[in-house]
Structure 1
Amino acid sequence: MSITIITDSASDLPVNYYKENNVTLLPLRVHLNDKEYLDQETISSKDVYAEIRKGAMPKTSQASPAALMELFEQMAQKNEPCLYIAFSSQLSGTYQTAMMVREEILEKYPDFEFEIIDSKCASLGQGLAVHHAVEFLKTNPSFTDFVAKVKEYCIHMEHIFTVDDLDFLAQGGRVSKASAFVGGLLNIKPLLHVEDGKLIPLEKLRGRKKVLRRMVDLMKERGEDLAHQTIAISHGDDEATAFALRDMIKEEFGCESFLISMIGSAVGSHSGPGTIALFFLNKKL
């Protein structure tokens, strides 16, 4: 069965991944220096990070209802089953808007098999769910089994990440201002995770090396059959640290399959440069 996968640009996979794997990409919007851009299409992550370092404060917005309607109607006219793996509803209004547009589409095309999953994921946590979906699709599942399996991937996706400055997340309302009170005091680095789609501060550690070590320790505590998983690492324009974390994970668990990518403009506008995020499944599926 031919099934179309849609995801939005919060999934942070490399641009060529979507094309090579027939995944339809829905760009979120980035507002920077009084201009609006489409993430992954009309602005690059590198450009956004460069502007942030100059003092710019980009903002983001969900895909417009008109853009969603246009895309979903195109899919409905093809009349092939379609699954949209969406950015966490706790971090964006995209999922809710997409569900409203879906209702309109199904009124017009009642035979269209179309589901939307609130992934409760972000960045390569969402991207890794897309990757698993792409791989599972090769087994030619029924649409019902396909949707159920992708939901299961999302439920068991772990996110562990650190940011250089929690103020970025606080300004965008992603964490509370009280949680953001770390500043640069004594080189303290925050460690966070995602719980039911929300960003939750976990610990504060002194120095980047200790944070990376703790990320690996948490991976050991939470992961299962890690050596046989595809592990994802995304970074805020800090590839060297992403590779350093990859090497630590290889040495600790013997993992060989990795997805490493820069955090895109939609997520990176809120997490800022220097973010390092780690993703894996906490249960063998």
Structure 2
Amino acid sequence: MRIGIVVDSACDLPADFIRQHGIVLLPITVRIGEAELVDHRDEEATLAFLHAHVAERGHEAQTTPFTVEQIRDLFLRRLVIDYDHVFCLTISKLRSQIHENALQASFAILNDYKPVRQSAGYNTPFALRVIDTLNLFAGQAITAVEAVRMRQSGANVAQIRARLEHLAENTIGYMIPRDLYYLRARARAKGDRSVGLVGAALGSALDIKPVLRAWRGVTEPVAKVKGFEAAARKMFQVAQERVREGLMTPTLSLGYGGELAEMRALPGYDELRQTCQRHGVEVFESLMSLTGMVNVGKGAVAVAFASEPHRFG
């Protein structure tokens, strides 16, 4: 059976990995003023857009996911011919409309695919499963990588589905923003009251950085650390501890809102990489998607993995 894997462009995976394994993107359009970029995870284009716009007016950005009709058209034009079963892995439905759009599109796709497949010479059924990863950005990469691994190993559809849904429930993403004023401005622009003015002002004045956790669809602060570099070190140390304890899948994902060389220079990064190597955990490093950067700000750093529940610290 030909199994396809679809992710939205908020999923922080290296561009080479996406190309190598034929992962299909549902792009998100980012618009700031008159400037517009369709996020196809082109790292060069993302950095150029970032340097030109995000640092100044990124909090004003409008992000537009593929519509129901666009998702339907993509599948009927291409995917129902190229594959027999597709797993569509989306950002948490609590943070974006993408999951709902994909779910609605799936009904139309399953109603309309037969003539398209038959004209291409396929008389077998087509199936589609939309899965909420319950996470975002670096956290979305964990289920996508596992889907690729299981497909390569010859696992069947039922095995893959059960595994991905289990991992989604147990994937934990941590992220540290650099600029709380930016985060507050972005939250206000979206109508999200989760970052207050007093907290942002106090955090910036004292250089206190929150560690945000994405888990089972909920994003919330779980720690506060003085200084961005100290916070990054602490986050990397927690990730090391989980690697040593044993992850549910041998994958750790890192995302950064800027040049990856800056992330690699952060304290604790080298130790984390060495710990992963000793324990057979593959590390995926990615430039954060443009969608991610306009939502959390330039220079944010994130780490994600699948693990048993634990306390931060």
Larger helix share, 1 or 2: 2
Task: Tell me how far apart the structure 1 counterparts of residues 197 and 169 of structure 2 sit (CA, whole Å).
Answer: 25
The equivalent residue for 1:192 is 212
The equivalent residue for 1:279 is 304
1:60 aligns with 2:60: no
Cα distance change on mapping 1:227 and 1:149 into 2, 3 Å:
closer
CA-CA distance at 1:249 after TM superposition: 1.1
1:44 aligns with 2:64: no
Unaligned runs of 5+ residues in structure 2 are 115-124, 309-313
Task: Tell me how far apart the structure 2 counterparts of residues 175 and 248 of structure 1 sit (CA, whole Å).
Answer: 36
Aligned residues: 284
Task: Tell me how far apart the structure 2 counterparts of residues 185 and 35 of structure 1 sit (CA, whole Å).
Answer: 32
Superposition RMSD on alpha carbons, in Å? 2.6
CA-CA distance at 1:54 after TM superposition: 3.4
CA-CA distance at 1:38 after TM superposition: 1.0
CA-CA distance at 1:23 after TM superposition: 0.9
1:213 aligns with 2:215: no
TM-score normalised by the chain length of structure 2: 0.82
Task: Tell me how far apart the structure 2 counterparts of residues 79 and 278 of structure 1 sit (CA, whole Å).
Answer: 32
CA-CA distance at 1:174 after TM superposition: 5.6
Task: Tell me how far apart the structure 1 counterparts of residues 234 and 38 of structure 2 sit (CA, whole Å).
Answer: 35
Secondary structure in 1 matching 2:5? strand
Larger deviation, residues 33-42 vs 119-128: 33-42
Does structure 2 conserve the Cα–Cα contact (< 8 Å) formed by 1:230 and 1:258? yes
Cα distance change on mapping 1:19 and 1:175 into 2, 3 Å:
farther
CA distances 1:188-241 after superposition (whole Å, capped 9, x unpaired): 111110132222112221112320232134335655415983221100105244
Larger deviation, residues 258-267 vs 246-255: 246-255
Cα distance change on mapping 1:250 and 1:228 into 2, 3 Å:
farther
Amino acid across the alignment from 2:48: D
Cα distance change on mapping 1:86 and 1:92 into 2, 3 Å:
same
What aligned pairs does 1:21-170 form with structure 2 within 5 A after superposition? Answer: 21-40=21-40, 44-50=45-51, 51-56=53-58, 57-73=60-76, 74-78=78-82, 80-109=84-113, 111-166=125-180, 167-168=182-183, 169-170=186-187
CA-CA distance at 1:114 after TM superposition: 0.8
Unaligned runs of 5+ residues in structure 1 are none
Larger deviation, residues 252-261 vs 25-34: 252-261
Task: Tell me how far apart the structure 1 counterparts of residues 83 and 174 of structure 2 sit (CA, whole Å).
Answer: 38
User: Which of residues 258, 262, 270 is equivalent to 1:237?
Assistant: 258
Cα distance change on mapping 1:58 and 1:145 into 2, 3 Å:
same
Amino acid across the alignment from 2:289: G
Looking at CA atoms only, which structure, 1 or 2, has the larger radius of gyration? 2
TM-score normalised by the chain length of structure 1: 0.89
Task: Tell me how far apart the structure 2 counterparts of residues 180 and 92 of structure 1 sit (CA, whole Å).
Answer: 27
Moved over 4 A (4+): 220-223
Cα distance change on mapping 1:220 and 1:45 into 2, 3 Å:
same
Cα distance change on mapping 1:58 and 1:238 into 2, 3 Å:
same
Does structure 1 conserve the Cα–Cα contact (< 8 Å) formed by 2:174 and 2:302? yes
CA-CA distance at 1:92 after TM superposition: 0.3
CA distances 1:224-272 after superposition (whole Å, capped 9, x unpaired): 4159832211001052442234313135564562111110111111011
User: Which of residues 182, 197, 200 is equivalent to 2:200?
Assistant: 182
Amino acid across the alignment from 1:271: V
Amino acid across the alignment from 1:170: A
CA distances 1:135-155 after superposition (whole Å, capped 9, x unpaired): 111111111111111112222
The equivalent residue for 1:250 is 273
Secondary structure in 2 matching 1:44? helix
Does structure 2 conserve the Cα–Cα contact (< 8 Å) formed by 1:29 and 1:61? yes
